[in-house]
Amino acid sequence: MMMYVVKRPFKSMGKFYGVGSIIKDPTAIKRFKSKVNEGKIIVVSDDNLQAVAAYIKARSNVDILPKFTKTESKPDEPKPVAKAKVVIKKK
């Protein structure tokens, strides 16, 4: 799963994205591809997570590793399904 981290702060559609913010839904940001090309947003994968975390920590003293471990360690559990109780009334 691709994740994105804000490298330089910006504002989009009335919401402020600070350094180290994790973007899960790129469709919520206007001109997302141009922000990636400008270097405001970094694409994060499992391969470069440590390097990006070290860069953000050194540049702006924001630790993003706890945010990633919290979001990734949550297993996908099936939601409980409520079963409807059928009552047949006799007239």
Tokens of 49: 């997570």
User: Domain-by-domain residue ranges, the chain?
Assistant: 3-72
Name, in order, each residue with C-beta under 8 angstroms of 15's C-beta and a sequence gap of 6 or more.
Answer: 28
Task: Walk along the chain (91 residues) and give the pLDDT tens digit of each residue.
Answer: 678 888 888 888 888 888 888 888 888 888 888 888 888 888 888 888 888 888 888 888 888 877 776 655 445 556 666 666 777 877 7
> pTM of this prediction?
0.63
CA atoms within 13 A on the CB side of 46: 2
Please answer whether residues 43 and 36 qualify as being in contact, where contact means their C-beta atoms are separated by less than 8 angstroms. yes
